Structure 1
Amino acid sequence: MPIRFEDRTARFEGACTVEEAIPLAEWLGAAEAPRLDLGGCTALHTALLQVLLAAGAPVAVPPEDAFLKEWVMPVLGKRPP
């Protein structure tokens, strides 16, 4: 599974597809103070981006992928250091 849900953190790994949108939305709705680890994410489907934007959960670990770092992180409201 491209997204692992661990306690308060959702860890994104590899190519995260549209199939993950509903489980992510459900987890974000149920988790208390959820955090996102996008460090291992190499591709993020736009449905997942929409879920993340709606949830407003903080990104604890920004993606290492150059495209995601440059184009997705600013949209999520945080630019990695």
Structure 2
Amino acid sequence: MTVRIEPDGIHLVGRCSAEDADALLVALQEQPGCTVDLGAAQRLHLAVAQVLLAARPPVRGVPANDFLARYLLNLLQ
């Protein structure tokens, strides 16, 4: 599973598909203010990015993907 809920936050791992947007949204609704770790994310479907942009959770970690690191991370911080 690419959306992992851990005690220290929500981790996005590997290639997150459109189906992962639902899991991420539910996790963010159940744990408001929870930090999302993007450090292990390789790719994010636009639906996942939209959830992040709408919810604006605290984020940490820098994705290995240059596009995500350069553009999405800047929008989220």
**Fold shared, TM-score > 0.5 on shorter chain:** yes
Structure 2: unaligned runs, 5 residues or longer? none
| C-alpha contact (below 8 Å) 1:8/1:33 kept by paired residues | no
How many aligned positions are there? 77
Determine helix, strand or coil for the equivalent of 2:57: coil
Runs of 4+ in structure 1 over 3 Å off: none
The corresponding residue for 1:61 is 61
Equivalent residues of 1:39, 1:63 under 8 A apart: yes
TM-score by length of 2: 0.89
Name the residue aligned to 2:27. Answer: 27
% same residue: 35
Query: Which letter maps to 1:73?
Result: L
User: Normalization by structure 1: what TM-score?
Assistant: 0.85
Structure 1 unpaired stretches of 5+: none
CA RMSD of aligned residues (A): 1.3
**Residue type of the alignment partner of 1:55:** A
